[in-house]
Amino acid sequence: MSKFSLSILGIAALATTMVTVIAGCSGAFDRIADTVLANEVRFDDQETPRTAYAISASADEVQSVGGQGSGLSCSLPLGTQTLAFTRGSEQAPIALQMRQACAFHDYCYRHGNATYGYSQADCDFMLQQQAFRLCKYITPSASISECETNARKVTIGVRLGGFGSFKRARALEDAKASTFMEFDPYPVRANTHQVVRIADAPRQWVREGLLTKAAYHFDIRPSGSRVHVLGWKPGGSMVCSSFELPASYNAINGPPMVVRDSPRGEDWFVWWRRDQLTNTYGEFAILPPGRATRQDWVEAAGGFTPRKPAGHCEHREMWSDASAAQLLAFVIKNRNFKFSELHPVNGADTPGVVRLMGLSTHSCSSNKAIKDRSPCVVDVAFDTRLRQLHEEPGARHLYRVTERNCRKDKSEGPRTDTCDRYRNYVGAPFVVAHATPPSLIWTRRGSGNGDGYEEGARVRHYTVGKPGEDVATDLGEKTLTAFPESMEPAFITNATSANPTFVSLVAGQDGVQLRAQAAVPKGEQSVTATLECLRNAPTSWLHRPTYLVPDPHDANRSYMVFSRVRLKDMQNKVLAQAAELDVAVATLVGGACSASAVSEFTFPDFFKYFAEQEELDALVAANKAPGNADPVALGQYAERVRGGQMILADITGDGVPDLVQIAEIKKEGRFRAGLLKGTLNTSGLRFSELSEQLSWTGSGD
């Protein structure tokens, strides 16, 4: 079918749908949705879909916020909720019920293409699947056809409401560009994707004088992973090692989490290997990359195939005598595990114990006769010395957050909104690691029938229960009364206090807006403060994820790190020989900042060697004659530099975070890396280039 025919069909569908909405004919809207999106494959497992969130690349105490400052919501056209969806007196609006799927869809449109290669069709496909799963999860008694129709209506409504919002990694204009943010814990629709983890360098390399941290570049496919380990010499040049890992037949293949057992302790790779998206069974595989030998990788991954890089890479063996080492890695298989997403507990002082926490979407009770509608705090710890689950006396893995058995019918008394547990999974919980025991903070929107969900939220804070009890300990619920959906996602500061503060990044009409709001006790009104730092600056500062890192010496001080990539003379579609990296650091003191607390830096040579030869030729052509430049080559270059994974982590081992971005030049069989060293002085956090250009020419085929 021609593009012209497709465009005519799209316009016709849009016109028909809008007429239907205006007319208020929900039956006709149902028929349109069922016809246009008739052949979606459903998941009939009554399990909530996965939650989208910013996945960390290291075990450092760094928060990351993406979403490009545009908020998270179901972008349904005006009037759609009322006219296209029927709603009972105690039923939440459809945009609240489907908010988890819509938040994933928002991230997918903004970051999916650069991170996973997702197309707009992929994002819309997953939205419809997830909306169906939410329907069956929220209302198990609903029929298959009812949930299919609702899912189709949400999908077609969001497509109309977000018309033109999908962003491409190879777009030359900033405002249309997708940027890297790892948000999908189970990227099953990605044919291949690449992520970097920063963790302990192999001990052999550290003994030879290399930096204490290394970059582990995972090139992941459903069939397995190719891992490139990149280590830094003190001057900035790099060494490397490469190997391949097979994929497990019984699990979704993906990258590991990085978990640290104490603030200055050892890094561990932890894979939570979920069987499939239609259930939450799985197994754990655990490995310390710094001390791991070949046998450890085989134990954790089920295999190991070394690959000696070609070209001019300075290849280094990662261990001197692998056969003599004691086995450190281990795998935990347990069919009682029923977890969706788990999150590292980094910062707790528990040497030898690796811990994960999260919220379970299944019942807390192992007794199937008990219909428990409560969410559960998940607490899983591993004894790395004994290579087994860490079981304290009376400890459990699941702790109920609310009372059992929400009301089934009106005879049981007034309805409570706590049984609508789906509202707990829109965003990932924040792990408060420094408390003993660690705890979780998360937000949920809408009380009772959900009215007011667009403007306010409740902040829930729970930790594990008392020994021998399965009820989680409530650390005090708070509210955010002026926290519209446009302010999500947000950083959390002073999380250990009674009133944690949420700091949001908003792409306003006048530019960047930083807004802070402290949670308050129920019945009080929270107040939003607009911070002065970066106020009304260009929104290009928000296109890439922003980081928040605490000052290691002053608990009252923290730093927000922004980055942007400038492709020069974009108005005339002309690119410079190399893009320039801009970095801005905003200093927060007591949760406040001023315009003078922002420092900006420009690094014109950061991406100096990030281009392939054909891209360099295209850049030269663009400078001489913009109309003759190769748009494909220019787009590839823009994707690599602006859409690449920028990481804030302590690479040099001095306790101060550094900035690093790594690019694989596949056609030329090499890697390039840019590294900015972080320093702390009386002026705050600063970044500077190392003396040597970082490069690795190796196998990247």
In order, the DSSP letters of 366-401 are S-TTS-----EEEEEEEETTTTEE---TT--SEEES
CA distance 244 to 109: 31
pLDDT band at 370 (very low <50, low <70, confident <90, very high): low
Q: Read off the pLDDT band of 23 (50, 70, 90).
A: very low
The mean pLDDT value for 34-42 works out to 56
Q: Rounded to whole angstroms, how far apart are CA atoms 586 and 559?
A: 6
Phi, psi of 205 (to 5 degrees): -70, -40
Residues 619-624 have a mean pLDDT of 72
Token digits of residue 543: 């296109």
Q: Indicate whether 158 pLDDT > 60.
A: yes
Q: Tokens at residue 274, please?
A: 């979920």
Which of 160, 57, 169, 158 lies closest to 111 in space, CA to CA? 169
User: Does 40 have pLDDT greater than 70?
Assistant: no
Inter-residue contact 381 to 358 (CB < 8 Å): no
pLDDT at 425 over 70: yes
Least confident among 15-24, 378-387, 550-559: 15-24
- The answer to whether the beta carbons of residues 220 and 194 sit under 8 Å apart is yes
Residue 510: its pLDDT value, please? 93
- Taking only the tens place, the pLDDT of each residue in 400-416 is 887 544 544 444 455 45
* Alpha helix ranges (H) inside 162-238: 203-207
- List of residues 6+ apart from 284 with CB closer than 8 A: 270, 271, 272, 273, 331, 332, 337, 380, 382
Residues 464-471, mean pLDDT to the nearest whole number: 87
Q: Give the per-residue pLDDT at 32.
A: 53
Quote the mean pLDDT of the chain. 84
Owner of token pair 């009409």? 509
The dihedral through the CA atoms of 79, 80, 81, 87 has a sign that is: positive
Give residue-wise pLDDT tens across range 127-154.
Answer: 988 988 888 888 888 888 888 888 888 8
**Residue 304 pLDDT:** 94
Residue 129 phi/psi, 5° resolution? -60, -45
Q: Assign 692 a pLDDT band (cuts: 50, 70, 90).
A: very low
- The token duo for 21 is 């909405």
Give the Å distances, CA to CA, from 277 to 44, 186, 306.
Answer: 11, 8, 31
Higher pLDDT, 454 or 417: 454
Give the rounded percent of residues in the chain with a pLDDT score beyond 90.
Answer: 53
Structural contact between residues 288 and 384, judged by C-beta atoms closer than 8 angstroms: yes
Residue 610, amino acid: F
Q: Is residue 663 predicted with pLDDT exceeding 80?
A: yes
Q: Against a cut of 0.85, is the pTM above it?
A: yes
Q: Which residues pair with 287 in a beta bridge?
A: 269
Per the model's pLDDT, the better-predicted residue between 407 and 103 turns out to be 103
